[in-house]
Amino acid sequence: MNYLHTLRILTALTGLSVSLYTAYIYRQKLYNPDYKALCDISETISCSDAIRSRYSKGFGLLDGILDSDSILNIPNFILGIIFFILYSLVTVTEYFTFLLLPAATISVCISIYLFYILNLVMKIHCLLMSQGVKRRRSTRLSSSGYYSKRTKPTQCPTNILSVENFQEMADYVKEKISVKPEVGIICGSGLGTLSDLVKDSIDILYEEVPHMPVSTVEGHEGKFVIGSLGGMDVICMKGRVHHYEGYHSQQLTAPIRLMSRLGVKYLVVTNAAGGVNKSFSPGDLMLIKDHINFLGLAGINPLIGPNLSTFGTGERFLQMVNCYDKEMRETALELAPKHGVSLQQGVYALIGGPSFETPAEIKFLNLIGVDAVGMSTAPEVIVARHCGIRTVAFSLITNMSVHPDSVHDESTSHSAVLALGSEVTGKFSGFITELVSSFKSKGMPLQPEADVFHDTLMESCNNDVMSKTVNNNTELSSTTTPADDNSMQDNH
Ligand SMILES: O=P(O)(O)O[C@@H]1C[C@H](O)[C@@H](CO)O1
Ligand SMILES: Nc1nc2[nH]cnc2c(=O)[nH]1
């Protein structure tokens, strides 16, 4: 009897120690993704992967029913700690001893279940290295971003970052802040001082946040500034990362998914861009009506790979009509004059960079109806759309893109872009603040109606092609000037 009693206490203490050690690793991993636990012995024997998998909360049984950050989706180690404390108490006090047998039976069943998950479901099938990021190994379900071994596509079998990774990013930030940001702001090149508008702020460096890509470009400080603006809780990115820095498009859009997990519903994106529309001048602010994403058209889209269906719309085939939210654009157009901002409107083109455009490329961009050209924004807007975040975006025209006749244009350089940005950004403070404040009264987006979209798009394409055909000669055309097309009647 005594022997059994001691054995039960020893078992409970062992279980408790394992649960506590798991909690310790979980916490270490949160702050330092490179932390190597003692139990990470080899690629195949690793407790970290199990601890960070979706089976580590509610034994994975509540996945798909509850949000991963729901308080009801309790980590297994907490359940373990509670279980083993109760088990020890019953053993020591000898009260409610009739519970010991059912408790032991449940514990054995759970152990068998976890053994099955670890060995048959989470077995290693893929260890890819991509752009410096070691991919997780997994045979996860497609809804969570992984395919099973049998169905994996050869090009991109897993995502660069998993749902759990985004959750870890959000958990890290959540722990540091007392506000609940509903608005995200991205400061483009030279526009970093917009973050000074954020009051009662705390800063979080990108390099602190697990999985967060770090800015490598001058003028992109690389930190979140979180606080309040215009009566709204905001998370502002002082600097972004770009594709040309060598980041995968899923990495450079990771902060958008982080924002989504924090509860952000509205996004203000800014960038520095070269003016292609000849009626623009450096210092103009252009409200983006739509974009042409040359990386996307070339098959570089942040949504490529297993669909992350647990985010917002989570749609596999995402509609992009009205991705620059019409109502938010209307509000921006209404507010701009009040703040002395003469707002241009136009189409933004994303090119890969980092080289600026050749004269021939600018001529081409002008012909196809581009008003400003830059190296960012489109992937962020795509992911924001996927997350169901309503977005409004602006290009600060920092330079006129090279004219076909010019040999070299001093203003088209990164230092000139930064200089102009910091010179004029202050002028937009009141406008941006009131714009953010206006989100208070806005609801969530309506999904676009597919048929209406398609018909209007076809009509607008036909009209554009007609007008280009009629107007074009060998000169650069300025048929898409905002002055010509400043109404909100189009379908953009
Ligand atoms: O981050 P954004 O898009 O504002 O930066 C633009 C594009 C290049 O990164 C840089 C060129 O000067 O400005
Ligand atoms: N691609 C591109 N990006 C820019 N960012 C600021 N100016 C420019 C430009 O002229 N071209």
Nearest to 263 by CA among 27, 444, 73: 444
Residue 406 pLDDT exceeds 90:
no
pLDDT value, residue 123:
52
| Ligand 2 atom showing the smallest separation from residue 275 Cα | 10
- Per DSSP bridges, beta strands 343-350 and 266-275 are unpaired
272 is catalytic: yes
Q: Distance between CA atoms of 372 and 471, rounded to whole angstroms?
A: 20
Is the CB of 402 inside a 6 Å radius of any atom of ligand 2? Answer: no
Closest residue by Cα to atom 5, ligand 2, is 273
What is the whole-number distance in angstroms between the Cα of residue 401 and the centre of ligand 1?
13
Q: C-alpha distances in angstroms, 399 versus 219, 221, 362, 364, 394?
A: 16, 22, 13, 18, 15
Give per-residue pLDDT as tens, 64-101. Answer: 677 666 778 888 889 989 998 998 888 888 898 888 88
Asked whether 235 and 183 are in contact (CB, 8 A), the reply is yes
357 is catalytic: no
Residue 482 pLDDT exceeds 50:
no
Give per-residue pLDDT as tens, 435-451. Answer: 999 999 877 654 444 33
Q: Determine the residue of 294, 361, 396, 401 to mutate for testing ligand 2's pocket, defined as the one with the most ligand atoms within 8 A of the Cβ atom.
A: 401
Sequence-ordered list of residues with C-beta below 8 angstroms from that of 140, at least 6 positions apart, any chain? 53, 54, 146, 147, 148, 158, 162
User: Backbone phi, then psi, for 132, in 5-degree steps?
Assistant: 80, 0
User: How many other C-beta atoms are found inside a 10 Å radius of the C-beta of residue 400?
Assistant: 21
What is the whole-number distance in angstroms between the Cα of residue 272 and the centre of ligand 1?
5
Bigger pLDDT: 430 vs 462: 430
Q: Determine the residue of 252, 394, 414 to mutate for testing ligand 1's pocket, defined as the one with the most ligand atoms within 8 A of the Cβ atom.
A: 414
Helix 163-176 to helix 254-262 angle (10° resolution) is: 60
454 is catalytic: no
| Ligand 1 atom showing the smallest separation from residue 396 Cα | 4
Q: C-alpha distances in angstroms, 371 versus 284, 478, 486?
A: 12, 9, 13
ipTM exceeding 0.90? yes
Nearest to 211 by CA among 240, 242, 181, 254: 254
Q: C-alpha distances in angstroms, 23 versus 36, 81, 95, 192?
A: 14, 9, 28, 38
- Per DSSP bridges, beta strands 285-293 and 390-400 are antiparallel
| Ligand 2 atom showing the smallest separation from residue 414 Cα | 6
315 is catalytic: no
| Ligand 1 atom showing the smallest separation from residue 244 Cα | 9
Candidate from 90-94, 108-112, 265-269, 473-477 with smallest mean pLDDT? 473-477
242 is catalytic: yes
pLDDT value, residue 41:
74
Task: State both tokens at 484.
Answer: 């010509």
pLDDT value, residue 460:
52
pTM, to two decimals: 0.67
Closest residue by Cα to atom 11, ligand 1, is 414
244 is catalytic: yes
**Smallest-distance ligand from the CA of 245:** 1
Q: Distance between CA atoms of 383 and 289, rounded to whole angstroms?
A: 17
| Ligand 2 atom showing the smallest separation from residue 399 Cα | 7
Given the structure tokens 């070339």, which residue do they identify? Answer: 298
Pocket of ligand 1 from Cβ distances under 6 Å: 188-189, 217, 240, 242, 271-272, 353, 374-376, 414, 417
189 is catalytic: yes
Encode 107-144: b = buried (16+ Cβ within 10 Å), e = exposed: beeeeeebeebeeeebeebeeeeeeebebbbbbbbeeb
Q: Determine the residue of 356, 376, 397 to mutate for testing ligand 2's pocket, defined as the one with the most ligand atoms within 8 A of the Cβ atom.
A: 356
Q: What is the 3-state secondary structure (H, E, C) of 16-40?
A: HHHHHHHHHHHHHHHHCCCCCCCCC
Determine which one of 244, 320, 429, 437 is catalytic: 244
Helix 76-93 to helix 100-116 angle (10° resolution) is: 150
2 is catalytic: no
User: Sign of the CA dihedral 245, 248, 249, 255?
Assistant: negative
Ordered domains of the chain (ranges, CATH) = 2-134 (no CATH), 168-489 (3.40.50.1580)
Give per-residue pLDDT as tens, 8-57. Answer: 888 888 988 888 888 888 777 666 656 778 887 765 677 776 776 767 88
pLDDT value, residue 3:
84
220 is catalytic: yes
Number of alpha carbons in the 13 Å side-chain half-sphere of residue 336:
16
| Ligand 1 atom showing the smallest separation from residue 356 Cα | 11
Sequence-ordered list of residues with C-beta below 8 angstroms from that of 68, at least 6 positions apart, any chain? 54, 57, 163, 164, 167, 310
Q: Distance between CA atoms of 224 and 235, rounded to whole angstroms?
A: 7
pLDDT value, residue 191:
97
Give per-residue pLDDT as tens, 327-346. Answer: 999 999 999 999 999 999 99
Burial class (CB in 10 A: 0-12, 13-18, 19+), 415: exposed
Q: Distance between CA atoms of 123 and 138, rounded to whole angstroms?
A: 7
327 is catalytic: no
What is the whole-number distance in angstroms between the Cα of residue 274 and the centre of ligand 1?
9
Burial class (CB in 10 A: 0-12, 13-18, 19+), 443: exposed
Closest residue by Cα to atom 10, ligand 2, is 274
pLDDT value, residue 11:
87
Q: Distance between CA atoms of 434 and 429, rounded to whole angstroms?
A: 9
User: How many other C-beta atoms are found inside a 10 Å radius of the C-beta of residue 295?
Assistant: 18
Is the CB of 271 inside a 6 Å radius of any atom of ligand 2? Answer: no
Given the structure tokens 């798909």, which residue do they identify? Answer: 64
